[in-house]
Amino acid sequence: MIRQTRHEMLTEIKTRFANRALTDQEVPQEVLEALVEAASHAPSCFNEQPWRFLIATGERRERLLATLTEQNQEWAGRAPVLVLTLSKKTFTQGGRDNYWHMSDAGCATGFFMLEAERRGLTAHPMAGFSRKQAREAFQIPEEYDIVHVMAVGWPGDLHLLSEKNQARNHPKSRKPIEELLL
Amino acid sequence: MIRQTRHEMLTEIKTRFANRALTDQEVPQEVLEALVEAASHAPSCFNEQPWRFLIATGERRERLLATLTEQNQEWAGRAPVLVLTLSKKTFTQGGRDNYWHMSDAGCATGFFMLEAERRGLTAHPMAGFSRKQAREAFQIPEEYDIVHVMAVGWPGDLHLLSEKNQARNHPKSRKPIEELLL
């Protein structure tokens, strides 16, 4: 199912959605690095590049998976890769608080997701996890805020999902443009 | 000048950079709406869609321009459109603080910028402005955080810029991928 949009737009924006039907097929290291590189070309205040990525496969994937809500574990447990995204709170030069670190990190994860989409992969961001547990599990220093966890994998058959998840595995609707304009 | 990247990636990610050489040629309303629509398809926590866009043309453009630093006014003064991006701090349902509002809004502005790029436009985000003045100038309610101002316009000749700006009007370098991985 592809989004119906009023205007033409980037294919990857149209086709991307929070797909839960992922297979357990491995994602090559080279591809994961390409996604991080795509993210790295996002703009940031003073070119600070506050974004960081903890790519969790193998044992680290198990550890990160355990921090997700039960509902997310159910489907994201199949994803071969989980990514913990982080954002550095202060400017490296001078050490002042960086007001833009979260919005810049969000932009970078957007680039990550769209490059994943271009490669036929899904990168599905989740807020449903314990930031506290994730911080402890990987001893994340206080200088980084935790952004989210992304499940990364290859889209698969809808029947991988429970009936409940099958029913909601489609692009969600959006506010009309008019409601976004001030 | 196009970024040299280690891996193949989305054309719009490669070609986008913080271009200052914009012409004063008008951007049709329809195109601006298409950029907002592209942004609207970003993912967000609980599908809250916290992003808002104040599209400033005409008199509103003058008012927003006045909030920029002198350095930014010098080149952004030619852009036919300035966009003030905002982010709603709380969840509409329940009213609790939305930890993800800034990262979600940042992701949406990333989609906005890449769709601009696909259409041959530049959308250049700036942190160099007074958030206080911008809030006052447009009476932005406290429930919204101000994210940034984007200059939106058509790329033009380098000679539109001062010598100083000509010299720095190219993609900036990025940290090697290794430094972004935890």
- CA A152 → CA A23, A82, A163, distances in Å? 10, 6, 22
pTM of the predicted structure, to 2 decimals: 0.97
Radius of gyration of chain A (CA): 17
**CATH number for the domain harbouring residue B53:** 3.40.109.10
User: Would you say residue A49 lies in a domain?
Assistant: yes
User: Would you say residue B32 lies in a domain?
Assistant: yes
> Chain A residue closest to B144 (CA)?
A182
User: Would you say residue B181 lies in a domain?
Assistant: no
Q: Tell me whether residues B103 and A105 touch, CB distance under 8 A.
A: yes
Considering only CB atoms, B36 lies closest to which of A127, A138, A180, namely: A180
As to burial, measured by CB atoms within 10 angstroms (0-12 exposed, 13-18 middle, 19+ buried), residue B85 is buried
User: Would you say residue B155 lies in a domain?
Assistant: yes
Q: Tell me whether residues A9 and B140 touch, CB distance under 8 A.
A: no
Range(s) of the domain holding residue B85: 26-168
Rounded Cα–Cα distance for residues A153 and A24 (Å):
7
State the pLDDT at residue A2: 81
User: B115 contacts in A (CB within 8 Å)?
Assistant: 9-10, 13
User: B170 contacts in A (CB within 8 Å)?
Assistant: none
As to burial, measured by CB atoms within 10 angstroms (0-12 exposed, 13-18 middle, 19+ buried), residue B167 is exposed
Per-residue model confidence as pLDDT tens digits over A10-46? 999 999 999 999 999 999 999 999 999 999 999 999 9
Q: Determine the distance in angstroms separating the CA of B153 from the nearest CA of chain A, rounded to an integer.
A: 17
Q: Is A110 on the interface with B (CB under 8 A)?
A: yes
Residue A155 pLDDT exceeds 90:
yes
Per-residue model confidence as pLDDT tens digits over B48-58? 999 999 999 99
Who contacts B13 (Cβ-Cβ below 8 Å, separation ≥6)? Answer: A38, A41, A111, A114, A115, B114
SS3 call for B56: strand
User: Would you say residue A77 lies in a domain?
Assistant: yes
Quote the number of domains for chain B: 1
Residues 21-40 of B with CB under 8 A from A: 30, 33-34, 36-40
Per-residue model confidence as pLDDT tens digits over A116-138? 999 999 999 999 999 999 999 99
Per-residue model confidence as pLDDT tens digits over A73-103? 999 999 999 999 999 999 999 999 999 999 9
> Chain B residue closest to A111 (CA)?
B110
CB A182 within 8 A of CB B54: yes
> Chain A residue closest to B18 (CA)?
A43
Q: Pairing state of beta strands A144-153 and A81-88? A: antiparallel
Residues 116-175 of A with CB under 8 A from B: 118, 125, 127, 138, 140, 147-148, 171-172, 174-175
Considering only CB atoms, A102 lies closest to which of B10, B54, B103, namely: B103
Q: Is A1 on the interface with B (CB under 8 A)?
A: no
Considering only CB atoms, B18 lies closest to which of A43, A52, A99, namely: A43
Task: Please report the DSSP string for B120-181 in residue order.
Answer: T-EEEEE--B-HHHHHHHHT--TTEEEEEEEEEE-B--GGGS-HHHHHT-SPPP---GGGGB
User: B12 contacts in A (CB within 8 Å)?
Assistant: 10
Interface pTM, i.e. ipTM: 0.97
CB A129 within 8 A of CB A54: no
Residue A1 pLDDT exceeds 90:
no
User: Would you say residue A32 lies in a domain?
Assistant: no
